Amino acid sequence: MKTIVSTQTNDVTIDTEGPFTMIGEKINPTGRKRLAAALTEGDLDYVVDLAVRQVDAGADILDVNVGVPGVDEAKLMGEVVGAVTDAVDVPLCIDSPSHESVGAGVAACGGRPLINSVNGEEASMSAILPIVKEYDAAVIGLLLDEDGIPETAAARVAVATKIIDRAASLGIPLENIVIDPLVLTVGAASDAGRVTLDTIAKLTAEYGVNINLGASNVSFGLPDRHTLNQAFLGLAMGAGASCAITDVAKLAPTIRAADLLRGRDAHGMRYIKYFRAHTPKDD
Ligand code: THG
């Protein structure tokens, strides 16, 4: 299954059969005071710098979330998307629960974005899916609904079915949907990783759909987060995930390694290219 997103001049294919797609997570003020302040002050240079650094680190797509209290989020989303689009040539993942902000971001990006996100709640599906249809955009479907995040893999797949069927009724094809099974921290429930991995396997068997993860969520509240994030990404890729919203500078080496190991990197060219571009010379 291929999900194509684009800028005006550049296509990126999220592909269940291809190498893993990396979505840079850093334009998101959650837990980042410096960025929250920059967004509040309208300091777009700081945001553009985050964009450039993530693309230099290998990001294929950039997530853009501007949710800080006390700002006109839709207006700011349009401005940030415009500034990022002028600075880097990668498609964007427009991250907001508000349909006004999503609409402003989609309108400002010029290409075909990934909308982050719709979920199985009636209010979300009825607000977001018409925008997906209008712009022929791609969308991330989060596996939660009015009852919260289901505890079992089967119940999460049932939410995926609800989102996929509703989208189909509006004429949105499965190719334009990327399912996010949701990752909770294993710090709170030690089978949280297992449930997500089982959900990925079931979705892959049933729908063959592209699957995204917010991969760093798995390690919240635990020591040595990087080791957990690396192990989880490798397992999730093995189970069928095809993209992640992640810290690309930290996790690209793991992702390039896992692609080579699962036969998605002919002659190791991507692994070697990444290593050459990002390993400092020690002479
Ligand atoms: N699925 C989808 N979208 C998502 C998520 C998801 N969007 C938001 C989030 N989850 C993914 N993005 C982030 C962004 C930052 C962090 C984690 C996930 C993060 N921040 C550090 C912190 O809060 O401690 C600070 C990072 C830093 O300083 O560099 O970990 O699951 N569809």
- Tell me the CA–centroid distance for residue 90 and ligand 1, in Å: 19
137-176: per-residue pLDDT in tens? 999 999 999 999 999 999 999 999 999 999 999 999 999 9
Beta pairing class for 11-15 and 2-6: antiparallel
- According to the model, what pLDDT value does residue 172 have? 98
- According to the model, what pLDDT value does residue 279 have? 78
Which residue ranges in the chain fall short of pLDDT 70?
Answer: 280-283
- Tell me the CA–centroid distance for residue 138 and ligand 1, in Å: 20
Q: Is residue 126 part of a domain?
A: yes
- Tell me the CA–centroid distance for residue 139 and ligand 1, in Å: 18
**Which residue is closest in CA terms to ligand 1's atom 17?**
216
Task: Output the domain CATH number for residue 272.
Answer: 3.20.20.20
Pocket test for ligand 1, best of 14, 21, 23, 25 (most atoms within 8 A of CB): 25
Q: Is residue 206 part of a domain?
A: yes
- Tell me the CA–centroid distance for residue 129 and ligand 1, in Å: 24
- Tell me the CA–centroid distance for residue 249 and ligand 1, in Å: 14
- According to the model, what pLDDT value does residue 216 have? 87
Under 8 Å CB-to-CB from 84, ≥6 apart: which residues? 27, 47, 48, 51, 62, 64, 92
Q: 152: domain range?
A: 2-278
C-alpha count within 13 angstroms, C-beta hemisphere, residue 96? 25
Q: Is residue 75 part of a domain?
A: yes
- According to the model, what pLDDT value does residue 282 have? 61
Q: Is residue 9 part of a domain?
A: yes
Q: Is residue 244 part of a domain?
A: yes
- According to the model, what pLDDT value does residue 57 have? 97
- According to the model, what pLDDT value does residue 29 have? 97
Q: Is 116 in the pocket of ligand 1 (CB under 6 A)?
A: yes
What is the tally of structural domains in the chain? 1
Q: Is residue 135 part of a domain?
A: yes
Q: Is residue 136 part of a domain?
A: yes
Pocket test for ligand 1, best of 14, 21, 245 (most atoms within 8 A of CB): 245
Q: Is residue 283 part of a domain?
A: no
Q: How far apart are CA 5 and CA 23, in angstroms?
A: 12
Here the tokens at position 268 are 């190791």
